[in-house]
Amino acid sequence: MAHVKLNAGAEFDILSAEEHKEHISGMIDSIEELIEGKNGTVVVRNSTPFTLDGSGNTPADGQGVMRIPTGYDGLLVRCVIDYPGSNATALKSCDVRILADSNSPGGLRSITNQLPNVFTDGDSQASVFRAGQDIKIAIVGGPATTQIYVTLQVILLKHQKPARDDTLEPA
């Protein structure tokens, strides 16, 4: 750094253009780490409600409730599925599955045999959704012609892993 004398005994530090560029770059890196957090950004998303058909089913490939942003992977750690008029003492028996768009037609996880329900996983066991994938919910035999409300808690991590050779995962 250059030192410039202002008055007798006073000094003022001035950054060179290169030092200024390094300083700003370091600040940007610090801000990105602060925003993203060491373990990822936690997103809580209420999906748009969707209606089950007359038999209480979603489409066979599920109903999209969230798309993972480009450049990130998502760890699904909580999924709450509810409907108006639900009663925790009178559960509706049905099959509920979590899907990752067309890459997992059999479902990533069969989470419950009843509604309403809360699905919770730790980040070490959570289902991983890749950048651009849709998180979908499939229901079979639920309450007919009823609106379903889904709330998701997803940890977003910067996408770091390449696609695996043995799956249809996008890069």
Cα separation of 124 and 39, whole Å?
A: 12
What residues form DSSP beta bridges with 138? 97
Q: What is the mean pLDDT of residues 19-27?
A: 79
Q: What is the mean pLDDT of residues 47-59?
A: 93
- What percentage of the chain carries pLDDT values higher than 70? 73
Q: What is the mean pLDDT of residues 5-16?
A: 66
Which spans in 2-154 are helix H? 17-36
Cα separation of 97 and 107, whole Å?
A: 6
Q: What is the mean pLDDT of residues 12-17?
A: 71
- What percentage of the chain carries pLDDT values higher than 90? 19
Cα separation of 40 and 71, whole Å?
A: 13
Structure tokens at 26: 């370091």
Structure tokens at 46: 């209420």
pLDDT given at position 36 = 56
pTM higher than 0.85? no
Whether residue 95 contacts residue 140, with contact meaning beta carbons closer than 8 Å, is answered with yes
Q: Is residue 71 over pLDDT 70? A: yes
Q: pLDDT for 137-149, tens place per residue?
A: 989 999 999 999 9
pLDDT given at position 53 = 95
Cα separation of 136 and 149, whole Å?
A: 13
